[in-house]
A and B are shown apart, each in its own frame.
Chain A
């Protein structure tokens, strides 16, 4: 018992997590990340379609207006996806972690006039919970004594177009590239292109999906450090941008803003591929406690 007491444990109040979620969610909904703004500015010049360029201009004007007025970028202020990377030397105090996260979501919604976009009993009467809770909370243990808080308000239109396939190992690289490209093609105009495409390859059914969501958090323009994955990312991007879907699907050369592929080992029988679609309003914020 004496030994155990001496292990370094850092106490973190769940109140600090609640406060982080409250602040990050508010920022995310009205401040488009600078890297997304830079992408839209570049795309406005590179896009071949005139109507496509007009769409991109409207999105830039929208981002400017939203930052100035705090009116949300999009009326779909999302289901709050909260990812916590918790150092294994952290001990949470002063309450329940998931309750604190939901309270942060509740406060952010009320204070910033965000939309209540969550219904309970979704297969039945779909009653709105009125406060945008519960959040979807993913917690991962990592070394250390810090807590990384990532908030990703996820809109329904793009999330609806996400897909997962349990490919056969024989389908290999071409199977992965083909499935991702056809998922983007099916997503098409409704998912609000230019899209960011998160891809999880390997693991199991549920792990591939989580990898795909985590892939969305990579900064725009940053290729995978794995050469073979960077190559796959470039090929998928080229194939998607050749589809002609364009900004908001009115036709054009800018269909995807970026493609991020994460890969993990898989069962000898399996090749899971998950594709998480993110609209151009790619809102996420993070902090470290």
Chain B
């Protein structure tokens, strides 16, 4: 775990090499295209996978950001855009990793099945600061609606990230920032 002020710079699409050395707790800044999808969109995406139909975007090397932003005010790209709880997407995640998804961004821990799948398929889960919606929106410089407009805030969007700050929460060797952090600061009761 790096403690220095220098975050690792990542650019999408990700590949095995770019994420192999990331460890839980490492700060990162992410640039490039990232796909916004949360609960309702995941349900539809996995239904498409089950039906053997193509997805509205290419998962290979991609990052999905669990976010439902507020509408963009006039003159802005996007409204507030912080992460939502990742655990609700656990039931869908393995199917997407099988198709080449390399990263996810959300808040809160993943279940053991997802953590095992991240090791197996060599992918990373990043955590961003929940409730920092106005701050994180400044690192999103483009937003294009690409599927399910009827879902409103849950529609799928292609976002352009510029230096989006996050932390490696689950790495490719099974590390978990939440467990490690807690173990360090838990007081014996």
Residues of A within 8 A of B (CB): 30, 48-51, 55, 58-59, 61-62, 65-66, 69-77, 113-117, 126, 128, 130, 156-157, 160, 188-192, 239, 242-246, 248-253, 279-281
Contact = CB atoms under 8 A, between A and B. Distances in A.
Interface stretch (B51-59, B67-75, B115-123): B67-75
B30 to A, nearest CB: 15
Contacts of B84: 75-76, 156-157
A77 B152 CA distance: 14
A126 B167 CA distance: 32
18 contacts: A58-B132, A62-B129, A65-B138, A71-B133, A73-B131, A76-B84, A113-B72, A114-B70, A115-B69, A115-B71, A128-B152, A157-B107, A190-B108, A190-B109, A248-B129, A249-B181, A250-B181, A253-B185
Given A49-B185, A188-B109, A250-B181, 15 more contacts: A58-B165, A65-B138, A71-B137, A72-B79, A75-B67, A75-B82, A75-B84, A76-B84, A115-B80, A189-B107, A190-B108, A242-B186, A249-B178, A251-B185, A279-B131
A238 to B, nearest CB: 9
Contacts, number: 170
B106 to A, nearest CB: 9
A250 B127 contact: yes
A58 B187 CA distance: 26
A65 B135 CA distance: 7
Interface of B: 3, 25, 40, 67-73, 76, 79-82, 84-87, 107-109, 127, 129-135, 137-138, 151-154, 165, 167, 177-178, 180-187, 189
A30 to B, nearest CB: 8
Nearest to B87: A190
B77 to A, nearest CB: 11
Contact of A113 (B3, B70, B182, B185): B70
Contacts of B82: 74-76
A279 to B, nearest CB: 6
B70 A75 contact: yes
B79 A113 contact: yes
A36 to B, nearest CB: 11
